[in-house]
Amino acid sequence: MVNLANPTAFVELTRRVLPWLAAATTALFVIGLWLSFAAPPDYQQGETVKIMYLHVPAAWMATFVYAVMTASALGTLVWRHPLADVAQKAAAPLGAGFTFICLATGSLWGKPMWGTYWVWDARLTSVLVLFILYLGLIALWRAIDDPGRAAKAVAILTLVGAVDLPIIKFSVDWWNTLHQPASVFRLGGPTIAPELLWPLIVMALAFTCLFLTLHLMAIRNEILRRRIARVTMLAAVEGDRLAPGLAAGGA
Amino acid sequence: MGVSHLGFIVAAYAVAALTIGAMIAWVVLDGRRLNAELARATRALDGARRGAKGARP
């Protein structure tokens, strides 16, 4: 069993796992895109339903990544896992990216279907709040120099922001919204035709694998960043130790 | 399917491709830069250690 709390062991594990994950991501995207373009048009929306194969997986990932960050925040504050804050920091830009795809594709889907790019409806607004939360967390990481203090502040803000996740999920049930209600993850099963559902599932798996691949790479990068800081500090200490000796020798 | 709708579909796929491309580029380029920086920092540390050893009486 690999000790995942050990950064060196974790980096070694990612080195072995990443090529397989990257290959699976590529294969799933190729299959998913092929199925998406081969899928029949929707009886109401026509070919614009093709935007769903990007918009819905991106929306799922936007909330899933935040859920991962919430678990990492608990890992930082409660269990003090050495890689929890690293995982959280690495996930934020990816979550922001998926949320941006969700908002942009939703807007491009909304114009032909609703007649408008944007409406201040509960679902759209709560997802916009999620995007702003991601940007705020990234900014907070950069604003505090001490990584330990930054990790705690970001973890607390992440936990506070987690209240947005159920609001996003249930906004279409709690309020009267222009956005359609849940049609896949709902009691009673999906209401989407299987010809449209299968490409959606494959694309969702592709987005999930993409996140896992990029997240592992970003975690590895963050471990490298901290290693560089440590090595640079050690070099400075060695230099300081050398400097008095040289000064004494020169005197 | 109207041409205007085709434009929306193409735009949605282009935005997604560009964003995913930017995410991949960010992670890959950051990794390369950090690996080079770590190698430089390790060389600096080795140099400092050798210097400290040489300076010892």
The pLDDT assigned to A187 comes to 66
* Dist CA A182 CA A171 (whole Å): 10
What distance separates the 2 farthest-apart alpha carbons in chain A? 90
- Which long-range CB contacts under 8 A does A37-46 form with residues at least 24 apart? A38/A199, A39/A195, A39/A196, A39/A198, A39/A199, A40/A195, A40/A196, A41/B1, A42/A196, A45/A113, A46/B1, A46/B5
CB pairs under 8 A between A and B: 107
Percent of chain A at pLDDT exceeding 70 = 93
Q: Residue A102, exposed/middle/buried by CB under 10 A (0-12, 13-18, 19+)?
A: buried
| Residue B5 belongs to a domain | yes
pTM: 0.89
The domain in which residue B45 lies consists of 1-51
CB-based contact A231 B38, cutoff 8 Å:
yes
The pLDDT assigned to B47 comes to 84
Tally the C-alpha atoms within 13 A of residue A122's C-alpha that lie toward its C-beta: 16
The pLDDT assigned to A92 comes to 97
Give tens-digit pLDDT for B18-56. 999 999 999 999 999 999 999 999 998 888 888 766 666
What distance separates the 2 farthest-apart alpha carbons in chain B? 85
Bigger pLDDT: A191 vs B10:
B10
Q: Residue A2, exposed/middle/buried by CB under 10 A (0-12, 13-18, 19+)?
A: exposed
The residues that bridge with A46 in the sheet, in sequence order, are A42
Give tens-digit pLDDT for A80-89. 888 899 999 9
Give tens-digit pLDDT for A111-136. 999 899 999 999 999 999 999 999 99
| Mean pLDDT within A22-51 | 93
Listing DSSP states for A128-178 in one string gives HHHHHHHHHHHHHHHH-SSHHHHHHHHHHHHHHHTTHHHHHHHHHHHS--S
Give tens-digit pLDDT for A55-78. 999 999 999 999 999 999 999 999
Check if the beta carbon of residue A124 is closer than 8 Å to that of residue A62.
no
Confidence band, pLDDT 50/70/90 cuts, at residue A181: confident
| Residue B57 belongs to a domain | no
Confidence band, pLDDT 50/70/90 cuts, at residue A250: very low
Q: Please state the three-class secondary structure of A7-69 as a single string.
A: HHHHHHHHHHHHHHHHHHHHHHHHHHHHHHHHCCCECCCEHHHHHHHHHHHHHHHHHHHHHHH
- How far does the CA of residue B21 sit from the closest CA of chain A (Å)? 10
| Residue B4 belongs to a domain | yes
| Residue B2 belongs to a domain | yes
CB-based contact A217 B12, cutoff 8 Å:
no
| Residue B16 belongs to a domain | yes
**pLDDT above 50 for A1:** no
Q: Which of B8, B47, B52 sits opposite A112 (nearest CB)?
A: B8
CB-based contact A221 B30, cutoff 8 Å:
yes
ipTM exceeds 0.95: no
Q: Residue A174, exposed/middle/buried by CB under 10 A (0-12, 13-18, 19+)?
A: exposed
On chain A, the residues whose CB falls within 8 A of the CB of B51 are 238-239, 242
The pLDDT assigned to B3 comes to 47
CB-based contact A93 B23, cutoff 8 Å:
yes
The number of folded domains in chain B is 1
The pLDDT assigned to A3 comes to 65
Check if the beta carbon of residue A90 is closer than 8 Å to that of residue A97.
no
* Residues from A in contact with B at Cβ < 8 Å: 41, 46-48, 50-51, 54-55, 58, 93-94, 97, 100-101, 104-105, 108-109, 111-112, 210, 214, 217-218, 220-221, 224-225, 227-228, 231-232, 234-235, 238-239, 241-242, 245-246, 249
* Dist CA A90 CA A110 (whole Å): 31
CB-based contact B37 A245, cutoff 8 Å:
no
The total of other beta-carbon atoms located within 10 Å of residue A181's CB is 12
Give tens-digit pLDDT for A204-216. 999 999 999 999 9
CB-based contact A235 B26, cutoff 8 Å:
no
**pLDDT above 60 for A152:** yes
Phi, psi (degrees; rounded to nearest 5) at A2: -80, 135
Nearest to A203 by CA among A78, A45, A39: A39
The mean predicted confidence, pLDDT, of chain A is 90
Quick one: tokens of A233?
A: 């500090």
Q: Which of B20, B23, B51 sits opposite A242 (nearest CB)?
A: B51
- Residue B56: left if φ>0, alpha if ψ -120 to 50, beta else—which one? beta
Bigger pLDDT: A42 vs B9:
B9
| Mean pLDDT within A17-45 | 93
The one-character DSSP state at A119 is -
| Residue B56 belongs to a domain | no
On chain A, the residues whose CB falls within 8 A of the CB of B31 are 217, 220-221, 224
